[in-house]
Amino acid sequence: MAEKSGGIALLLRSVMATVLVTAFGLAGTTTGHAATAAPDLQLPFPCGQQWRLDTWQHAPALDMVKEPDQHGTEGATLIAPAAGRVNQSYKHGNAGNMIQIDHGGGYFTTYIHLQSREVSVGERVQRGTMIGRVGKDGATANGHPHLHFELGYDADGDGSASWGFAGSERVRPTFDGVTYGQSDGRTWRSVTSRNCSVVSPKGLASVYGVLPDGRLTYTAIDGATGDRTHGAVVSAAPLGFTPKAMATLNFNTLLVTSDEPSGRLYRVDIRTNRDELIFEPPVFLGNGYTHDLLAYDGGGNLYGIADGVLRRYNVNAAKPVLADITGNTLIGSGFTLKTLTATGPDWLLGTTADGWLISYRIAGAGSWQRHQLRDSTWQGFDHLLSPGGGVYYGHHPNGSVHRYFDADPYDGQGDDLSGQGTVDASGWTQVLLSAQPATVS
């Protein structure tokens, strides 16, 4: 390494040798022999990145910095090396932000000194799920950005793996078939991450919104990365009425209800959303649409919920007039949802005030299948969006937007649903949000 990097490495070595052994102040037991096979791990960084791994004086634990010169270590994306469930996620007094993931079979991976944490206890992750960012948090980081990583085996069966000190339950990790951490003072240079996603969504999510003052917004989000690629573009003119619910039919057509007892339904035609957002004067379609929530499934069906009653309408034109909205089928009651979106034709997804995430397969009047994907933690979202392809976005009242990926959104299972970090941590102040269906696959 260069002289400056060598100085940092020397300082890290001396600090970690003396501090990590004792400073965390955790109770633990001596590592025992694993009774089951360790998980198939990949390096916890995006595919193709190269990292330096050092044991210093705390083998088999590893400290990781980005090659070739440590630049880019701080703030680097941290992803899960294998599927599992988050067992710990909190700010430790000495180690700073830390996460521990339970991979099953008694094995746990632990990450400390993080700049930020993107997952919560109980959350299910898949290999490649973003779980946080590398940092220098905590006194024992000594101000130097790096990831302290440990693989642990729960030898005493207490439901977690102790970490951060000599005699804890940490064991040697294996990444992409190669074992590391055999002894103190070992260094591995330019270790390449093979943490490459097998399934990745493709396409752009087109998201329309309404600001508190009635102006419209448009934002495009990369379905694979979660990066905003366009916008938010904001209209100069407001809608001219107080909106209650909104559904996106296609790239330039919205259906919006007004917050009036008569339930006025409007069609909003977008003229452009490129450099500025301009829309035609809203077209009044009819009364009686008192829905609290709306969602269009991309297959010709508009769903609405009012007072827990779910109805389905057939939309028979890209720019419908009232005569083009037919059907008005009563699906059922008891749909007391806080948010609603459509993940595909006749598939709905919603959250409850209790934090449940529920998927529905709608067959017709009085006929549907209900799948509870999560039983907690989703109550914080006030809007839920899906552009298709198993991609979900949850909007929090604090202005943040979080993204999720469901490898199979139609299997009725939540085990393949994983958090993918945030689109933005703040700035989304819209009171309504809706995504165009079927733009991501």
pLDDT of 430: 99
SS3 call for 54: strand
pLDDT mean over 279-295: 98
161, 186, 339 from 16: Cα distances, Å: 20, 14, 47
Residues 6+ apart with CB under 8 A from 178: none
Amino acid at site 103: H
Strand partners for 247:
255
Least confident of 6-20, 69-83, 178-192: 6-20
pLDDT mean over 375-391: 95
H or E segment to which residue 7 belongs: helix 3-19
In the chain, CATH 2.120.10.30 covers 204-435
How confident is the prediction for the chain on average, in pLDDT? 90
Rounded CA gap, 277 and 271, in Å? Answer: 8
pLDDT of 18: 36
Maximum separation of any 2 CA atoms in the chain, in Å: 76
pLDDT of 47: 87
pLDDT class of 418 with cuts at 50, 70, 90: confident
Q: What digits encode the pLDDT tens for the residues 294-322?
A: 999 999 999 999 999 999 999 999 999 99
Fold of 3-192: Glucose Permease (Domain IIA) (2.70.70)
> Is the model's pLDDT at 114 over the cut of 60?
yes
The top-level CATH class assigned to 204-435 is mainly beta
Q: For residues 404 and 253, which has the higher predicted lDDT (pLDDT)? A: 253
Rounded CA gap, 175 and 45, in Å? Answer: 11
In the chain, CATH 2.70.70.10 covers 3-192
Write the burial class of residue 10 (CB in 10 Å: 0-12 exposed, 13-18 middle, 19+ buried). Answer: exposed
pLDDT of 413: 82
Helices (H) and strands (E) in the chain, counts: 1, 34
pLDDT of 11: 34
Least confident of 34-43, 181-190, 202-211, 397-406: 34-43
Rounded CA gap, 273 and 6, in Å? Answer: 51
Q: What digits encode the pLDDT tens for the residues 205-263?
A: 999 999 999 999 999 999 988 999 999 999 999 999 999 999 999 999 999 999 999 99
pLDDT of 8: 35
* Count of CB atoms situated within 10 Å of the CB of 212: 9
pLDDT of 291: 97
Q: Number of C-alpha atoms within 13 angstroms, CB side, residue 188?
A: 20
pLDDT class of 37 with cuts at 50, 70, 90: low
> Is the model's pLDDT at 24 over the cut of 50?
no
**Is the distance from CB of 297 to CB of 410 less than 8 angstroms?**
no
> Is the model's pLDDT at 22 over the cut of 60?
no
Q: For residues 104 and 81, which has the higher predicted lDDT (pLDDT)? A: 81
Least confident of 12-16, 122-126, 189-193, 408-412: 12-16
Closest CA to 29 of 123, 162, 191: 162
Q: What is the CA radius of gyration of the chain?
A: 25
Per-residue burial over 185-206, b if 16 or more Cβ lie within 10 Å, else e, is eeebeebebebeeeeebebbbb
> Is the model's pLDDT at 326 over the cut of 60?
yes
> Is the model's pLDDT at 4 over the cut of 80?
no
Instruction: Tell me the torsion sign for CA atoms 184, 185, 186, 188.
Output: positive
